[in-house]
Amino acid sequence: MTSCKPTSTEKEEHLRKPDWLKIKLNTNDEYKGLKKLMREKNLNTVCEEARCPNIHECWGERRTATMMILGSVCTRACRFCAVKTGLPNELDLAEPERVADSVAIMNLKHVVITMVARDDLKDGGSEVLAETVRAIRRKSPLTSVEVLPSDLGGIKENLQLLMDAKPDILNHNIETVRRLTPRVRARAKYDRSLEFLRLAKEMQPTIPTKSSLMIGLGETHEEILEVMDDLRANNVDIMTIGQYLQPTKKHLVVKKYYSPLEFGKLRKIAMEKGFKHCEAGPLVRSSYHADEQVNAATKERQMQADM
């Protein structure tokens, strides 16, 4: 009988993590306090659900957080993401006020509101996301608000609902290069994400737009540059570039670990291509130092207005 087990050449090689990916845990009182509040308010955070390596820095040192609304179950099953997938729960219409209350209690200077994909909803979840922005504005007028939505089904009216709430920054992640998108991102399309970012800028020209790229999934250097060019062609202001890390054995394996030096070179290229701000590094994630990113983009916008 012929064995069905894969040969050593058929198995995907698991690379050893380099030293620069080791992180320092900071479970201080600030971190513990934020975590306690999240549980008391029954809130989800992408920091926890997506196993972000920067959670201790953001919660414990910077007092910034990324809230994940519309439940903790996503309708998509992207092969890079640790968020649970399946049939979502019913909408919690009290969630926007609960999130806003928490932001006020924590006295956050910057908050990122992200969401699970809700392809089961006609509006993709845009109304609840927009109401969350408005609720935070009412209760914490000095807090800058960044939104990180799904593509909202690629429906223009859904995006318009969100942009009418006027977040301080619109973030939508391209995630990977064009060639790898079908394998990496479930039900998402590379060109639809680009159009989403372009339309957001057309709807609210003064609001900075932002996108994030993971590398280490088998892309080429030329493909990374192509993503930069595509984002700039659609007027994206801010870009983040980070190392893909395999969350579980069920997810895509890492093909390459990029060094801090390589990330530094990519950041230099991004700035030369016209991005107003770029964060690039092994542990950089879409919301990494998000408060600094929005401040940098706002300063650039003000400088242009004064010219």
The string of pLDDT tens digits covering residues 134-155 is: 999 999 999 989 999 999 999 9
pLDDT at 34: 65
Q: Two tokens at 14?
A: 């698991």
Binding site members for [4Fe-4S] cluster:
47, 52, 58, 74, 78, 81, 287
The answer as to whether 20 is a domain residue is no
Q: Does some domain include residue 52?
A: yes
Q: Which of 290, 244, 280, 287 is nearest to 260 (CA)?
A: 280
Phi-psi region for residue 271, left (φ > 0), alpha (ψ -120 to 50) or beta?
A: alpha
Q: Is residue 3 part of a domain?
A: no
Average pLDDT, the chain: 84
Q: How far apart are CA 215 and CA 256, in angstroms?
A: 8
Helical pair 190-203 and 221-233, crossing angle rounded to 10 deg: 30
CA contacts within 13 A on the Cβ side of 27: 2
pLDDT tens readout for residues 289-306: 555 655 654 555 445 445
**Is it the case that residue 9 has pLDDT exceeding 60?**
no
Categorize the per-residue pLDDT at 27 as very low, low, confident or very high, splitting at 50, 70 and 90: low
CATH number of the CATH domain containing 122: 3.20.20.70
User: Distances from the Cα of 27 to the Cαs of 35, 42, 109, 247, in angstroms?
Assistant: 10, 21, 21, 21
Q: Are 110 and 294 in contact (CB under 8 A)?
A: yes
Does the pLDDT of residue 121 top 80, yes or no? yes
What was the pLDDT predicted at 282?
A: 92
Q: Which domain holds residue 31?
A: 26-306
Q: What is the pLDDT of residue 123?
A: 96
pLDDT above 90 covers what percent of the chain?
58
* Residue 207 falls inside a structural domain: yes
Binding residues: 47, 52, 58, 74, 78, 81, 287
177 found inside a domain: yes
Residue 259 lies in a domain: yes
Task: Considering only residues 248 and 51, tell me which one the structure prediction assigns the higher pLDDT.
Answer: 248
What is the rounded CA–CA span in Å between residue 116 and residue 149? 8
Interatomic CA distance for residues 89 and 120, integer angstroms: 10
Give the integer Cα–Cα distance in Å for 36 and 43.
Answer: 10
Residue 2: inside a domain = no
Residue of 147, 158, 167, 169 whose CA lies nearest to 122: 158
Q: Is residue 169 part of a domain?
A: yes
Are 210 and 293 a contacting pair, CB within 8 Å? yes
Q: Which residues pair with 44 in a beta bridge?
A: 68
The H or E element containing residue 291 is helix 290-306
Structural domains counted in the chain: 1
